[in-house]
Amino acid sequence: MNLTRRDLARLTAAAAFSRFPRLGRSQDSGRTIGYCIVGLGRISMQHFMPGARLSQYSKVTALVSGHRDKAERMAAEYHVPAKSIYSYEQYDAIAQNKDIDAVYIALPNSMHAEYSIRGARAGKHVLCEKPMCTTVADAEAMIEASRRAGKKLMIAYRCQYEPLHQRAIRMIRDGTLGKVQAIESSFGFNIGSGEWRTTRKLGGGGPLMDVGIYCLNACRYLTGEEPAELKGYSSVTDHDGRFAEVEEHLSWTMKFPSGAVAACNTSYGVNMPGFFRVHGAKGMLHMEPAFNYDGVRLSVHLEDKPPIDTLSGDRDPAQFPPQADHLAECIFQNKEPKTPGEEGLRDMKLMTAIYRSC
């Protein structure tokens, strides 16, 4: 049997994913949810769609793209019929496609609200990439549209479905670290010129909306609390034209009701490997890289105990298949997603407050 590089990569990914327990239950065996992929960019083609292929209850059944040639290539790879390829102008016609149960929104930030709302009105469940949108009003409108349609709205906070993140949360919740005292977190990269993310119209903001949101969301799910106080500072140091509309750097602090404090940094001007470090009364928990698609690493140092050092693997697909299947299970069992629209709304309110503080 002759295997291509792509075949080998898929086999390796499947073997890696098999190490993790499935989220599904026996009564859902044989059932699948058909996803319509809205926007054929890096995260959808390189991550979500391969993840859906490795999942238990999810499959790609339709595509929406402004590039017909790209859509046809992806349709051939995922066995999507030509009748299920749509342009953006044809988007509302998904309402008549019974092979589509849910839409996966992977568009620029400012387009999330419109296409999520139209997806719900078309009678489809919605899995929307983060950030949920660019304004609090849009977030509330997305929640209301899904509620009126009687459909699920889930925000794609993939890290909350990653096994090592879940392990970190359990260790904090069960008191392994003792009372949480402080958290540090950063994530950033040196963005190129001409990126849509540096335009306020499409991005809605700078690195806070794009990668800083990982730090913000992590502080919330690690503590299980909502910030009681926050303060932000933003700046531009590289006056090279990239940051005429958005911030280059942003730092913020938060204080939680328990007394725990957090300090976070994000940037579009310098590479900041994504990490978080949680200091507890009994020890320290550190994850770096924390927000990558693969190669996540968790280290724990406790008083009078051997250190723990766990790596998820270099080509680990442990985030996207469980994320896709979680929405499928919520549809099957009529339960609320772990990361519903309200989770995205809370981050939108906090990011708005951080920007106002800046």
Question: Model pTM?
Answer: 0.91
Q: What is the pLDDT of residue 30?
A: 79
Residue 233 a catalytic site member: no
Residue written as token pair 């280290």:
299
Secondary structure (DSSP) of 274-314 = EEEEEEETTEEEEESS-SSSS--EEEEEETTS--EEEE--T
Catalytic pick among 59, 124, 130, 151: 130
Residues 111-139 have pLDDT tens digits of 999 999 999 999 999 999 999 999 999 99
CATH of 163-318, one of 1.10.3720.10, 3.40.50.300, 2.70.98.50, 3.30.360.10: 3.30.360.10
Residue 11 binned pLDDT confidence (cut-offs 50, 70, 90)? very low
Backbone dihedral region of 349: left (phi > 0), alpha (psi from -120 to 50 degrees) or beta? alpha
Q: Name the β-bridge partners of 146.
A: none
Catalytic pick among 91, 104, 214, 268: 214
Cα angle for residues 214, 59, 334 (degrees, 5° grid): 75
Decide: residue 239, CB within 10 A, 0-12 exposed, 13-18 middle, 19+ buried: exposed
Write phi, then psi, for 104 (nearest 5 degrees). Answer: -110, 115
| Residue range(s) in the chain whose domain bears CATH number 3.30.360.10 | 163-318
Instruction: Identify the CA nearest to 326 among candidates 12, 24, 88.
Output: 24
Q: What does DSSP say about strands 102-105 and 180-188: parallel, antiparallel, or unpaired? A: unpaired
How far apart CA 331 and CA 337 sit, in angstroms, is: 9
Judge whether 185 and 264 are in contact, CB under 8 Å.
yes
Q: What is the pLDDT of residue 317?
A: 61
Domain topology for 5-159 = Rossmann fold (3.40.50)
Write phi, then psi, for 331 (nearest 5 degrees). Answer: -70, -45
Residues 175-185 have pLDDT tens digits of 999 999 999 99
Residue 83 a catalytic site member: no
At residue 281, does pLDDT exceed 60?
yes
How far apart CA 5 and CA 48 sit, in angstroms, is: 19
At residue 19, does pLDDT exceed 70?
no
Cα-Cα-Cα-Cα torsion 107, 112, 114, 115, nearest 10 degrees, comes to 60
| Residue range(s) in the chain whose domain bears CATH number 3.40.50.720 | 5-159
What mean pLDDT is predicted for residues 255-269?
A: 98
How far apart CA 96 and CA 80 sit, in angstroms, is: 16
